[in-house]
Amino acid sequence: MHFRNIDVVVFDAMGVTFVEGDDVSNLLIPFVARECGCTNRETIRQLYLSASLGRISSQEFWARVGCAPASEREYLDTQLKLDPDFIAVAERLKKRYVLAMLSNDVSEWSAYLRRRFALDRLFTSVVISGNYGFRKPDRRLYQILLRSLSVAPHQCVFVDDQPQNLETAAQLGMHTICRIRCDRDPPTYERAIESLRDLLTLL
């Protein structure tokens, strides 16, 4: 069944645009432990949370986990992998839809990755938690995105890999697609896809 009357396709970053969904547990914490010697997982997680809310800078994050400033570039360049289908799928969708990004991330990291992979040319609006002080599933972050595009929720479909984030989108009236990478609990979303290529048949 196809979605109808959609004007905007909104992508999450980690787990959708990028391959790894739980980048903090699976990429950042092991990297910091290996490269910087900080092995307290909860300390790293809480510092990341603060950075992703804009409460501390990315430089302060690396300093507080005991890493040299150059570690940031090494982490972003070696650990974060773009979904191999994303660019081709987004370029095709952009011919028919407005594309946007809604993501929990450190502002500086998101900006660097978007430059590195030339993603900003694809998105009309990018809303990152580190710029606004809210993280999904806080509905205020979604409302910032909707205002930036001047669209109603029902005109948007949101692609995320976390059911709790999709639940908020659905409550606001957005259409929802879950990017499945592993088994989930009972879902709150309209569709599920196993590959971004599946978007081309749904939209």
Please give the pLDDT value at position 192.
87
Give, in degrees to the nearest 5, the angle at Cα 146 between 82 and 119: 25
Say which range, 73-77, 89-93, 162-166, has the weakest mean pLDDT. Answer: 162-166
Say how far apart CA 72 and CA 199 lie, in whole Å.
Answer: 33
Query: Which of 163, 150, 120 has its CA nearest to residue 15?
Result: 163
**What is residue 55's DSSP assignment?**
S
Question: Which pair of structure tokens corresponds to residue 159?
Answer: 């692609």
pLDDT digit string, tens, across residues 9-24? 999 999 999 999 999 9
Query: 90 φ, ψ to 5°?
Result: -65, -40
- pLDDT above 60: residue 186: no
pLDDT digit string, tens, across residues 88-146? 999 999 999 999 999 999 999 999 999 999 999 999 999 999 999 999 999 999 999 99
10 touches 179 (CB < 8 A): no
Please give the pLDDT value at position 190.
78
Q: H or E element: which one contains 147?
A: helix 139-149
Question: Which residues, 6+ apart, have CB-to-CB distance to 73 below 8 Å?
Answer: 112
Measure Cα distances from 107 to 32, 64, 119, 129 in Å.
19, 17, 15, 7
Question: Which pair of structure tokens corresponds to residue 45?
Answer: 């997680």
Please give the pLDDT value at position 1.
53
pLDDT digit string, tens, across residues 21-58? 999 999 999 999 999 888 999 999 999 999 999 999 99
